A and B are shown apart, each in its own frame.
Chain A
Amino acid sequence: MPYSPIRGFDGAILQGVTPTALLGITDWEGTITIDVTVDGPFLNDNGKKYKTRGGIDIKGKAKGKVPSGKDTNQTAVINALINDTDLNLVLRQGDSGAPADLAYTITIPTAVISSAKLGQDSKNGATIEFDFEGNGSFTVS
């Protein structure tokens, strides 16, 4: 299948039981890692190392601008941090309105919002950044 690019703005980060897209987001990223336990090298084993896969985890962040009057879904992310509550987060690559343009979608049903940064810049306006982590299961589809 030949390569077909996805337009930069055809993606989203959504939150909530009925996932709703946050406004003003410029980018998101999620990093999936596993714990790797290393054994060895052992005597008389030619210096080999052996690795065992452990727990799997996901961490990520998103950045964007805060619109005038705030955005309900950005507020939900901040409230999840402040109120110690889990949040359903969906990170989507591509255009959900055009399935052929859809790429990977990460769904984190019980994400932990681990930090949020709000700012105001005289040139760029009001900004938001937040970090999130998985808490239990997540899917990549």
Chain B
Amino acid sequence: MSVTQITNATALIRDALALALSPLVGTYQGQPKAFWLVAPELVPLPLLVYQVQSPPQDTSFLNGAAVSSLFTVKALSSDTAPGDADTLLASVPAAIIGLAVSGYQVKVTFVRDVPPLQKDYVYTAGLVYQIDLYA
């Protein structure tokens, strides 16, 4: 049996994160305030942004495809209310640990915090996760 490498892991995980994180935030103009890569300007805070930290790398076993990658989830709030970002971020672990990708086994492991950042009146806090897919 041929091993078919997982070449679209970034997109698969991105879509899974969108499903998992969207219920944690409100909406703006009908769209959840959970954004891939960067939040559009003028979206009211607080909100979530999720990004790939380290692109998927092949970690296949004999006769079994697998990839491993790092993703970051960041919560942003006004710098006058950093607690809003912290509270929002605190809801992420429970939502992300059950991440599901159709057709694959998923393993999610917390790696580390992202040091908080305060810049341009915005407070940012984040978490980095290792997300592995197994075919």
Contact = CB atoms under 8 A, between A and B. Distances in A.
Interface size class of A (residues with CB under 8 A): 20 to 34
A51 to B, nearest CB: 36
B2 A9 contact: no
A54 to B, nearest CB: 33
Nearest 10 CB-CB pairings of A with B: A97-B2, A9-B60, A12-B63, A25-B62, A21-B63, A11-B62, A97-B1, A9-B3, A12-B62, A95-B2
A64 B3 contact: no
A9 B1 contact: no
B26 interface: no
The A interface, classified by DSSP as helix, strand, loop or mixed, is loop
Interface of B: 1-3, 58, 60-65, 105, 134
Contacts of B62: 9, 11-13, 21, 25-28, 64
Nearest to B64: A23
A10 B3 contact: yes
Contacts of B61: 9, 23-26, 64-65
Contacts of B65: 9
A83 to B, nearest CB: 25
A7 interface: yes
Contacts of B3: 7, 9-10, 95
